[in-house]
Amino acid sequence: MEKDNVLSVHGLKVKFDNHIILDDVSFEIKRDDTLAIIGPNGAGKSVLFRALLGLIPFEGKIEWASNINIGYVPQKLFVEKDLPLTVSEFLRFKEDNKEKIHQVLLEVGFQHESDHFHNDKRVLATRIGALSGGELQRVLIAYALLGNPQVLLFDEPTAGVDVTGEETIYSLIHKLQKKEDLTIIFISHELQVVNHYAANVLCLNREKICFGPPLKVIDKETLTKMYGEEVNLYQHHEH
């Protein structure tokens, strides 16, 4: 693997019961890069993440730079609304230091005193299940940041977040991009977002369709390969 690469994937293949989900996917990511992964439903985007995290078996090679900390931000948590787990207890699964938790909450946008409250209750004392989609997403990002990661993996950061919340999440990602030595990899459905925030894009539809700077590599041909004929990606918006 080249020295300034954070990740190198070679000939990645994932099968579930003889059904091929990902086939011969190869790409590399440089340190401090921001990579977006796009593709239609069932293209294998989340499966790629799960393979990168070592959660599922795969063929081929996935090589992370040595001593790398990966922070994973899942799409959502499948928890009951009445799960008696507070934000504070959740964050303390990873970090006991209260000052660090406070810092990381500031970083994800609970900046003002009023931001620290959810329905008049301090966010830290609020149950995970009572948070709004946007708040939960920010708490999940905070959780990922607590491990001092050099890589952040976002699985559809704005799924389940309303439009205003969506802007906040992306501006947060944008802010995180400025951090030193933080590589960001995110899955998205929205081409506008990809053009705006990602330095590189990986287009996926079981196989790699394109890879490179979004404005260069995404054209009519690659879109057709991914989504079929006559699809206007700008309207492809799932929630």
Binding residues (CB under 8 A) for other proteins: these are 50, 53-55, 70, 72, 74, 77-79, 82-86, 88-90, 92-94, 125, 127-128, 143, 147
Q: Which whole-number Å values give the CA distances from 113 to 117, 149, 195, 223, in the listed order? A: 8, 27, 34, 45
Of 80 and 219, CB closest to other proteins:
80
Of 74 and 133, CB closest to other proteins:
74
> Can you tell me which residue has the tokens 């019961």?
17
Q: Are 141 and 75 contacting, i.e. CB atoms less than 8 angstroms apart?
A: no
* Smallest separation (angstroms) from other proteins to the CB of 123: 13
* Smallest separation (angstroms) from other proteins to the CB of 50: 7
β partners of residue 86: 127
Q: Which two tokens stand for residue 137?
A: 């997403």
How far is 13 from 207, CA to CA, in rounded Å? 9
Among 145, 5, 18, 147, CA closest to 62: 5
How far is 39 from 56, CA to CA, in rounded Å? 20
* Smallest separation (angstroms) from other proteins to the CB of 53: 5
Of 106 and 130, CB closest to other proteins:
130
Of 94 and 236, CB closest to other proteins:
94
* Smallest separation (angstroms) from other proteins to the CB of 110: 19
